[in-house]
Chains A and B, each alone.
Chain A
Amino acid sequence: MLQVHNLTVSYGSHTVVDHLSFQVVEGQWLMIVGPNGAGKSTILNAITQGVNYTGTVLLNGTDVKKQKASSRAREIGVLAQNHHVGYEFTVEEIVRLGRYAHSSGLLSGRRNEDEAAVQRALELTGMAPQRQQSVLTLSGGELQRTFLAQVFAQGPRLLLLDEPTNHLDLVYQKQVFALISEWLKTPGRAVVSVVHDLSLARAFGTNALLMHKGRAVAQGEVKDVMSSGQLDRVYGMDVRDWMRTMLSQWDGDE
Chain B
Amino acid sequence: MAILSARNCRKHHTKANGDGKRPHLCFLKGNDMRKKAEHFRLSEYLIFAGITLFTLCACICIGSVNIPMNETLTVIWNAIIRAPQPESLAASIILPVRLPRVICVALSGAALSLAGAAMQGLLKNPLADGSTLGVSSGASLGAVLAIAFGITFPAIPFAGTMIMAIIFAFLSLLIILGLSYKLDYSLSTNTIILIGVIYSMFVSSAMNVIIAFAGDKVKDITFWTMGSLQNSSYKNAVILAGVLLICGGILFSLARELNAFAVGEDNARHIGVDVRKTKLIVLITVSILIGVCVSIGGTIGFVGLVTPHMVRMLVGPNHKRLLPASAFGGAVFLLLADLVARILLDPIELPIGVVTSLVGALVFIFIFYQTRKR
Contacts and interface: CB of A to CB of B under 8 A. Distances in A.
Interface residues of A, number: 40
Contacts of B272: 69-74, 100-101, 154
Interface in A63-86: 68-74, 77-78, 80, 83-86
Given A106-B320, A132-B35, A133-B12, A87 B271 contact: no
A100 B271 contact: yes
Interface in A90-112: 90, 93-94, 96-98, 100-101, 106, 110
A78 B126 CA distance: 26
B274 interface: yes
A97 B16 contact: no
B266 interface: yes
Given A86-B264, A89-B262, A133-B12, A69 B253 contact: no
A88 interface: yes
Interface in A133-172: 133-134, 137, 139, 147, 150-151, 154
A248 B271 CA distance: 43
Contacts of B8: 132-133
A230 interface: no
Contact of B269 (A69, A71, A97, A98): A69
A49 interface: yes
User: A-B pairs with the 6 shortest C-beta distances?
Assistant: A73-B272, A101-B272, A87-B317, A86-B124, A78-B270, A70-B272
A154 B260 CA distance: 13
A10 interface: no
A3 interface: no
A156 to B, nearest CB: 10
Interface of A: 48-50, 52, 68-74, 77-78, 80, 83-90, 93-94, 96-98, 100-101, 106, 110, 132-134, 137, 139, 147, 150-151, 154
Contacts of A80: 266-267, 270
B263 A85 contact: yes
Contacts of A74: 272
Contacts of A70: 272-274
Contacts, number: 102
Contacts of A68: 274
Given A80-B266, A88-B312, A96-B38, 12 more contacts: A69-B274, A70-B273, A73-B271, A87-B126, A87-B262, A88-B316, A89-B259, A97-B259, A97-B260, A106-B252, A106-B253, A132-B29
B264 A84 contact: yes
Interface string B68-86: 0000000000000000000
A100 B263 contact: no
Given A52-B185, A80-B267, A100-B256, A89 B274 contact: no
B42 to A, nearest CB: 14
Nearest to A74: B272
B230 interface: no
A77 B320 contact: no
A50 B266 contact: yes
A59 to B, nearest CB: 14
A85 B265 CA distance: 10
A48 B5 contact: no
A101 B316 contact: no
A137 B16 CA distance: 9
Contacts of A73: 270-272
Interface in B20-50: 21, 24, 28-29, 35, 38
Nearest to B23: A137
B266 A69 contact: no
B226 interface: no
Interface in B98-127: 121, 124-126
B318 interface: yes
B275 interface: yes
A86 B262 CA distance: 6
Contacts of B275: 69
B260 A100 contact: yes
A29 B255 CA distance: 36
Nearest to B30: A132
Nearest to A102: B272
5 contacts: A86-B263, A100-B273, A106-B256, A137-B21, A151-B270
Interface in B185-206: 185
